Amino acid sequence: MANTINLKIITPERVVFDDQVEQVTAVANDGELTILPGHEPIVTTLAVDVLRFKVKGEEETAAIIGGIMNVNNTEVEILSDMAELGIEIDEARANQAKSRVEAEKSQKTDKLDAYVSEMALSRAMVRLKAAEMAKLRRRGRA
C-alpha cells in the first residue's frame, strides 16, 4: 500500500490543488471523515468547512464551500463551486466581508434573502478559519 494518495481540489475556475498527500480530513454533511491511502471508494457531499490535508508531514488547509468528494483507491477528488487554500486567503478582505454580511443580515426580512446572507456569512467564517489555521501552522514552523 502506498503512503500517499493524490488530492485534487477543483472549482469551475481552476484546479486549486493537485498533489500527493498522506491524509485528507473533510467535513461531510453527515460528519467528519479522514481519508488515508487505500481507503474504500466513497462519494459524499461536503459541508461548508475547512478541509485539512497533510503534505510531507505538514498540515495544510483549504476553505471548501460545499461540494462533492469522490474517493477511489488512488485519488481524492473534491469538486466545489468555491475553494481556496488557507495560505491564499486575504484575512483583511475576509473580515470585511464578514462584517458587511453581518450588517446586511440584520436588515433582511425575506426568507430567501436571509438564507443567502447566512450562506455568505458561513463562507466568510470558513475562509477566516482556514486562514487562521494556516497562519498558526506557519508560526509553528518559524
In tens, the pLDDT along 87-135 reads 887 777 776 777 776 676 667 667 777 667 677 767 777 877 787 777 7
Residue 77 pLDDT more than 60?
A: yes
Residue 81 pLDDT more than 60?
A: yes
- Type and span of the H or E element at 69: strand 58-71
Contact 50, 4 (CB under 8 A): no
Residue 127 DSSP SS3: helix
Segments making up each domain of the chain, as ranges: 5-86, 89-141
Contacts of 21-30 with C-beta under 8 Å, sequence gap 24+, read 21/53, 21/54, 21/55, 21/76, 22/54, 22/55, 22/56, 22/57, 23/53, 23/54, 24/51, 24/52, 24/53, 24/76, 25/51, 25/52, 25/53, 26/51, 26/52, 26/64, 26/69, 26/78, 27/51, 28/69
Task: Give the chain's end-to-end CA distance (angstroms, integer).
Answer: 33
Q: Which fold has domain 5-86?
A: ATP Synthase; domain 1 (2.60.15)
Cell numbers linked to 34: 479522514
Question: For residue 57, how far is the Cα from the chain centroid?
Answer: 19
Written out in words, the top-level CATH class of the domain with range 89-141 is mainly alpha
Mean residue pLDDT across the chain = 85
